[in-house]
Amino acid sequence: MPLTNSIDLRQAATGAAAAIALVLVGCGGPAREVPPASAAAAAPTSSTRPAVPAAEAPEWHYEGAEGPANWGALSPTFAACSEGRNQSPIDITKATPGATAQLRTTFPPAELRIAHHEHIADGINNGHTIQINYPDAETLTVGGVAYQLTQYHFHSPSEHTVDGKHFPMEMHLVHKSADDRLAVVGVFIAEGADNKAFDPVWANLPGQKGVETHYPAVTVDVDALLPTVRTSYRYEGSLTTPPCSEGVSWIVMTTPIELSSKQLAAFTHLIKDNNRPVQTLNERAILTDAVSIAAANR
């Protein structure tokens, strides 16, 4: 789950027409061309500008000497990647209904309210994943705490597994509270029917590296990207990329969404194998919702 260092976390302006940013990050390799979009989803008129360089941080990748097994040794700021006890992702198995008394104090099993809206998209190709930055808005409420969606992004294959099995992709929606606590909604993506909700993003995956592109005619309905059934697994974990910071509340949807084989291929043509291996659960509990989860009215 990218969040700091090499990932741009610009806060867009608020309001119904506020912009979000579509970020495509590779693993330091050469830029690759995107398969042509369908005629029905042709790219709109766009404007481009040089990308703002990310803050300097040690290079890290998903393979080789700078891969996940060595992240903790790349920088003192990455120490949690190797020393942390509550790391993500994990294999989800033997979930317990409800919440234990210990976890209830940090992540209450209260109703999860998700309220997302349509926004205009910007795109940039510069590193490890496809990330979409979101404007300032209270879009997630859990346990009485309101969180703002800051960005969402994708991994292929999935980072979390269920009973040891990967899904073709996983989407992470990263939320931050007013006191800087993080809550991430994870959504598994299976191969299946074509998903029209993803067309605005998938038709405009940026192929040119290092150039930010504004798409004034592209809007993305975030709520439509989520599964209709919103029950979840919950546990306490970390970022899944350096610096692997802990204290992240994870909400992983039990029901996957679907993308067609062509949609999955459009992503993996650009980005693949950008998943951190599952981490040891240690003493943590994996919980399932004890109460209903509902989407708020848009």
What is the distance between the alpha carbons of residues 205 and 18, in angstroms, rounded to a whole number? 20
Q: Which of 7, 98, 14, 52 is nearest to 285 (CA)?
A: 98
Cis amide linkage into residue 157, ω under 30° from 0: yes
What is the distance between the alpha carbons of residues 73 and 68, in angstroms, rounded to a whole number? 10
Q: Is 202 helix (H, G, I), strand (E, B) or coil?
A: helix
What is the distance between the alpha carbons of residues 18 and 176, in angstroms, rounded to a whole number? 18
Q: Is 68 helix (H, G, I), strand (E, B) or coil?
A: helix
Is 128 catalytic? The answer is yes
Say if residues 200 and 268 touch (Cβ distance below 8 Å).
no
> Catalytic pick from 116, 128, 153, 160?
128
User: Active-site residues: which are they?
Assistant: 128
